[in-house]
Structure 1
Protein backbone atom coordinates (compact mmCIF):
# COMPACT_ATOMS: atom_id res chain seq x y z
CA UNK A 1 0.00 0.00 0.00
CA UNK A 2 2.97 2.31 0.23
CA UNK A 3 3.09 4.73 -2.66
CA UNK A 4 6.29 5.52 -4.42
CA UNK A 5 7.10 8.95 -5.80
CA UNK A 6 4.92 9.74 -8.76
CA UNK A 7 6.76 12.16 -11.00
CA UNK A 8 4.92 14.47 -13.29
CA UNK A 9 5.81 14.61 -16.99
CA UNK A 10 8.29 17.46 -16.48
CA UNK A 11 10.11 15.53 -13.75
CA UNK A 12 8.91 17.70 -10.89
CA UNK A 13 7.07 16.65 -7.78
CA UNK A 14 5.00 19.00 -5.66
CA UNK A 15 6.10 19.66 -2.10
CA UNK A 16 2.67 18.65 -0.84
CA UNK A 17 2.92 15.35 -2.66
CA UNK A 18 6.38 14.72 -1.19
CA UNK A 19 5.11 15.54 2.28
CA UNK A 20 2.15 13.21 1.97
CA UNK A 21 4.27 10.36 0.67
CA UNK A 22 6.92 10.88 3.31
CA UNK A 23 4.30 11.07 6.07
CA UNK A 24 2.71 7.81 4.93
CA UNK A 25 6.07 6.03 5.03
CA UNK A 26 7.00 7.47 8.43
CA UNK A 27 3.58 6.84 9.96
CA UNK A 28 4.09 3.08 9.45
CA UNK A 29 6.70 3.16 12.26
CA UNK A 30 4.12 4.33 14.84
CA UNK A 31 6.56 6.65 16.59
CA UNK A 32 3.93 9.11 17.74
CA UNK A 33 5.94 11.85 16.01
CA UNK A 34 5.00 11.26 12.38
CA UNK A 35 4.07 14.87 11.65
CA UNK A 36 7.11 16.33 13.38
CA UNK A 37 9.54 13.90 11.77
CA UNK A 38 7.98 14.52 8.37
CA UNK A 39 8.44 18.25 8.88
CA UNK A 40 12.04 17.78 9.96
CA UNK A 41 12.85 15.64 6.93
CA UNK A 42 11.07 18.02 4.55
CA UNK A 43 13.51 20.74 5.59
CA UNK A 44 16.06 19.00 3.39
CA UNK A 45 16.27 19.85 -0.30
CA UNK A 46 13.88 18.10 -2.67
CA UNK A 47 16.52 15.71 -4.08
CA UNK A 48 17.40 14.47 -0.59
CA UNK A 49 13.72 13.86 0.16
CA UNK A 50 13.31 11.98 -3.13
CA UNK A 51 16.25 9.77 -2.16
CA UNK A 52 14.60 9.06 1.21
CA UNK A 53 11.41 8.05 -0.54
CA UNK A 54 13.31 5.75 -2.87
CA UNK A 55 15.60 4.16 -0.24
CA UNK A 56 13.81 2.61 2.77
CA UNK A 57 17.09 2.00 4.60
CA UNK A 58 18.16 5.63 4.31
CA UNK A 59 14.68 6.73 5.36
CA UNK A 60 14.85 4.52 8.44
CA UNK A 61 18.28 5.95 9.37
CA UNK A 62 16.99 9.52 9.05
CA UNK A 63 13.83 8.62 10.96
CA UNK A 64 15.91 7.14 13.80
CA UNK A 65 18.05 10.31 14.01
CA UNK A 66 15.00 12.55 14.00
CA UNK A 67 13.28 10.42 16.65
CA UNK A 68 16.33 10.62 18.93
CA UNK A 69 16.40 14.39 18.52
CA UNK A 70 12.71 14.71 19.36
CA UNK A 71 13.00 12.41 22.37
CA UNK A 72 15.95 14.42 23.67
CA UNK A 73 13.99 17.65 23.24
CA UNK A 74 11.09 16.08 25.13
CA UNK A 75 13.40 15.12 27.99
CA UNK A 76 14.86 18.62 28.05
CA UNK A 77 11.41 20.18 28.14
CA UNK A 78 9.77 17.80 30.61
CA UNK A 79 8.49 19.62 33.64
CA UNK A 80 9.61 17.95 36.86
CA UNK A 81 6.16 18.40 38.37
CA UNK A 82 4.64 16.39 35.51
CA UNK A 83 6.77 13.31 36.09
CA UNK A 84 5.17 10.28 37.63
CA UNK A 85 8.48 9.14 39.03
CA UNK A 86 11.11 11.26 40.67
CA UNK A 87 13.89 10.20 38.33
CA UNK A 88 13.78 13.33 36.15
CA UNK A 89 13.63 15.56 39.22
CA UNK A 90 16.52 13.65 40.72
CA UNK A 91 18.59 13.99 37.55
CA UNK A 92 17.87 17.72 37.42
CA UNK A 93 18.84 18.08 41.07
CA UNK A 94 22.08 16.17 40.56
CA UNK A 95 23.06 18.27 37.57
CA UNK A 96 22.19 21.45 39.43
CA UNK A 97 24.19 20.34 42.47
CA UNK A 98 27.30 19.71 40.35
CA UNK A 99 27.07 23.18 38.79
CA UNK A 100 26.43 24.88 42.13
CA UNK A 101 29.30 22.95 43.69
CA UNK A 102 31.66 24.55 41.17
CA UNK A 103 30.55 27.98 42.38
CA UNK A 104 30.29 27.31 46.12
CA UNK A 105 31.66 23.93 47.22
CA UNK A 106 31.05 24.57 50.92
CA UNK A 107 27.36 25.41 50.70
CA UNK A 108 26.38 23.55 47.51
CA UNK A 109 23.82 21.36 49.31
CA UNK A 110 22.01 24.25 50.94
CA UNK A 111 22.06 26.40 47.81
CA UNK A 112 20.90 23.54 45.60
CA UNK A 113 18.06 22.86 48.02
CA UNK A 114 17.01 26.49 47.83
CA UNK A 115 17.17 26.52 44.04
CA UNK A 116 15.16 23.31 43.75
CA UNK A 117 12.19 25.21 45.17
CA UNK A 118 12.05 27.05 41.85
CA UNK A 119 9.95 26.00 38.85
CA UNK A 120 11.57 23.25 36.74
CA UNK A 121 11.55 25.46 33.64
CA UNK A 122 13.48 28.15 35.50
CA UNK A 123 15.96 25.55 36.74
CA UNK A 124 16.57 24.34 33.19
CA UNK A 125 17.16 27.94 32.13
CA UNK A 126 19.69 28.31 34.95
CA UNK A 127 21.48 25.20 33.70
CA UNK A 128 21.57 26.59 30.15
CA UNK A 129 22.67 30.11 31.07
CA UNK A 130 25.71 30.14 33.37
CA UNK A 131 25.38 33.84 34.20
CA UNK A 132 21.81 33.29 35.41
CA UNK A 133 22.99 30.41 37.59
CA UNK A 134 25.74 32.60 39.05
CA UNK A 135 23.16 35.28 39.90
CA UNK A 136 20.83 32.74 41.54
CA UNK A 137 23.71 31.24 43.53
CA UNK A 138 24.78 34.71 44.65
CA UNK A 139 21.24 35.48 45.85
CA UNK A 140 21.13 32.19 47.74
CA UNK A 141 24.55 32.91 49.29
CA UNK A 142 23.27 36.30 50.41
CA UNK A 143 20.19 34.72 51.94
CA UNK A 144 22.29 32.09 53.71
CA UNK A 145 24.66 34.65 55.12
CA UNK A 146 21.68 36.40 56.68
CA UNK A 147 22.34 39.75 55.07
CA UNK A 148 18.81 39.86 53.64
CA UNK A 149 17.15 39.21 57.00
CA UNK A 150 16.21 41.99 59.36
CA UNK A 151 17.19 44.79 57.02
Structure 2
Protein backbone atom coordinates (compact mmCIF):
# COMPACT_ATOMS: atom_id res chain seq x y z
CA UNK A 1 0.00 0.00 0.00
CA UNK A 2 2.72 2.44 0.92
CA UNK A 3 4.61 1.58 -2.27
CA UNK A 4 1.68 2.26 -4.60
CA UNK A 5 2.21 4.81 -7.37
CA UNK A 6 0.43 7.68 -5.64
CA UNK A 7 2.03 10.13 -8.10
CA UNK A 8 0.21 8.54 -11.05
CA UNK A 9 -3.05 7.38 -9.50
CA UNK A 10 -6.55 8.11 -10.65
CA UNK A 11 -9.16 8.35 -7.94
CA UNK A 12 -11.52 5.42 -8.18
CA UNK A 13 -14.77 5.37 -6.30
CA UNK A 14 -13.58 2.37 -4.30
CA UNK A 15 -10.88 1.29 -1.90
CA UNK A 16 -7.32 1.09 -3.22
CA UNK A 17 -6.86 -2.61 -4.10
CA UNK A 18 -3.62 -2.94 -2.13
CA UNK A 19 -5.38 -1.62 1.00
CA UNK A 20 -8.02 -4.38 1.09
CA UNK A 21 -5.86 -7.09 2.69
CA UNK A 22 -4.37 -4.63 5.17
CA UNK A 23 -7.77 -3.42 6.37
CA UNK A 24 -9.16 -6.97 6.47
CA UNK A 25 -6.28 -8.14 8.69
CA UNK A 26 -6.58 -5.05 10.87
CA UNK A 27 -10.30 -5.61 11.40
CA UNK A 28 -9.81 -9.32 12.14
CA UNK A 29 -6.97 -8.67 14.60
CA UNK A 30 -8.93 -5.99 16.43
CA UNK A 31 -11.89 -8.35 16.69
CA UNK A 32 -9.62 -11.11 18.06
CA UNK A 33 -8.07 -8.75 20.59
CA UNK A 34 -11.51 -7.63 21.71
CA UNK A 35 -12.51 -11.20 22.47
CA UNK A 36 -9.24 -12.00 24.27
CA UNK A 37 -8.70 -8.89 26.41
CA UNK A 38 -10.67 -7.23 29.17
CA UNK A 39 -12.62 -4.19 28.00
CA UNK A 40 -10.30 -1.71 29.73
CA UNK A 41 -7.18 -3.37 28.32
CA UNK A 42 -8.73 -3.64 24.85
CA UNK A 43 -9.66 0.04 24.99
CA UNK A 44 -6.01 0.95 25.56
CA UNK A 45 -4.90 -1.51 22.88
CA UNK A 46 -7.13 -0.23 20.06
CA UNK A 47 -6.29 3.39 20.91
CA UNK A 48 -2.60 2.54 20.74
CA UNK A 49 -3.07 0.72 17.43
CA UNK A 50 -4.97 3.69 15.97
CA UNK A 51 -2.37 6.23 17.10
CA UNK A 52 0.56 4.15 15.87
CA UNK A 53 -1.14 3.42 12.56
CA UNK A 54 -1.85 7.12 12.08
CA UNK A 55 1.81 8.02 12.63
CA UNK A 56 3.04 5.12 10.50
CA UNK A 57 0.87 6.14 7.55
CA UNK A 58 1.88 9.77 7.95
CA UNK A 59 5.61 9.08 8.17
CA UNK A 60 5.96 6.03 5.93
CA UNK A 61 3.28 6.67 3.31
CA UNK A 62 2.63 10.41 3.06
CA UNK A 63 6.17 11.64 3.72
CA UNK A 64 7.82 8.93 1.60
CA UNK A 65 5.74 9.37 -1.58
CA UNK A 66 4.66 12.04 -4.04
CA UNK A 67 0.95 12.55 -4.72
CA UNK A 68 -0.86 13.75 -7.80
CA UNK A 69 -4.42 14.98 -7.41
CA UNK A 70 -5.88 11.50 -7.96
CA UNK A 71 -3.52 9.87 -5.46
CA UNK A 72 -4.28 12.50 -2.82
CA UNK A 73 -8.03 12.01 -3.28
CA UNK A 74 -7.66 8.23 -3.20
CA UNK A 75 -5.70 8.34 0.07
CA UNK A 76 -8.30 10.61 1.64
CA UNK A 77 -11.09 8.31 0.45
CA UNK A 78 -9.30 5.23 1.85
CA UNK A 79 -8.92 7.01 5.17
CA UNK A 80 -12.45 8.36 5.49
CA UNK A 81 -14.39 5.44 3.96
CA UNK A 82 -12.38 2.45 5.18
CA UNK A 83 -9.74 3.01 7.86
CA UNK A 84 -11.61 5.33 10.22
CA UNK A 85 -14.87 3.33 10.01
CA UNK A 86 -12.97 0.22 11.21
CA UNK A 87 -12.65 1.93 14.59
CA UNK A 88 -16.23 3.22 14.75
CA UNK A 89 -17.43 0.21 16.72
CA UNK A 90 -15.01 1.15 19.52
CA UNK A 91 -15.69 4.90 19.79
CA UNK A 92 -18.19 7.51 18.61
CA UNK A 93 -15.39 9.69 17.22
CA UNK A 94 -12.77 7.45 15.59
CA UNK A 95 -11.52 10.32 13.43
CA UNK A 96 -10.08 11.91 16.59
CA UNK A 97 -7.36 9.24 16.54
CA UNK A 98 -6.33 10.09 12.97
CA UNK A 99 -6.27 13.91 13.02
CA UNK A 100 -2.63 14.38 11.90
CA UNK A 101 -3.24 12.05 8.95
CA UNK A 102 -6.54 13.76 8.10
CA UNK A 103 -4.80 17.15 8.13
CA UNK A 104 -2.04 15.80 5.88
CA UNK A 105 -4.69 14.52 3.44
CA UNK A 106 -6.37 17.92 3.49
CA UNK A 107 -3.04 19.58 2.63
CA UNK A 108 -2.48 17.15 -0.24
CA UNK A 109 -5.97 17.90 -1.57
CA UNK A 110 -6.37 21.66 -1.14
CA UNK A 111 -6.67 23.41 -4.50
CA UNK A 112 -5.30 25.97 -5.08
CA UNK A 113 -2.56 26.42 -2.51
CA UNK A 114 -2.20 29.95 -1.10
CA UNK A 115 0.46 31.81 -3.08
CA UNK A 116 2.70 32.47 -0.08
CA UNK A 117 2.74 28.93 1.37
CA UNK A 118 6.48 28.58 0.59
CA UNK A 119 7.25 31.40 3.03
CA UNK A 120 5.52 29.54 5.84
CA UNK A 121 2.27 31.51 5.56
CA UNK A 122 -0.33 28.88 6.31
CA UNK A 123 -2.96 31.24 7.72
CA UNK A 124 -4.60 31.58 4.29
CA UNK A 125 -5.44 27.89 4.04
CA UNK A 126 -9.22 27.28 3.83
CA UNK A 127 -9.01 25.22 7.05
CA UNK A 128 -7.04 25.28 10.28
CA UNK A 129 -4.20 22.92 11.08
CA UNK A 130 -3.86 21.95 14.75
CA UNK A 131 -2.03 18.63 14.78
CA UNK A 132 0.93 19.21 12.44
CA UNK A 133 3.95 21.42 13.11
CA UNK A 134 4.84 24.15 10.58
CA UNK A 135 7.77 21.98 9.46
CA UNK A 136 5.48 19.00 8.95
CA UNK A 137 3.00 21.15 7.01
CA UNK A 138 5.82 22.23 4.72
CA UNK A 139 7.04 18.64 4.30
CA UNK A 140 3.56 17.37 3.43
CA UNK A 141 2.98 20.13 0.87
CA UNK A 142 6.35 19.25 -0.69
CA UNK A 143 4.94 15.77 -1.42
CA UNK A 144 2.41 17.16 -3.87
CA UNK A 145 3.27 16.39 -7.50
CA UNK A 146 2.22 19.92 -8.51
CA UNK A 147 4.93 21.42 -6.26
CA UNK A 148 8.59 21.55 -7.18
CA UNK A 149 10.47 20.20 -4.13
CA UNK A 150 12.93 22.40 -2.28
CA UNK A 151 16.45 22.05 -3.56
CA UNK A 152 17.85 22.49 -0.06
TM-score, normalized by length of structure 2? 0.25
Higher helix share: 1
Which structure would you say has the larger Rg? 1
TM-score, normalized by length of structure 1? 0.25
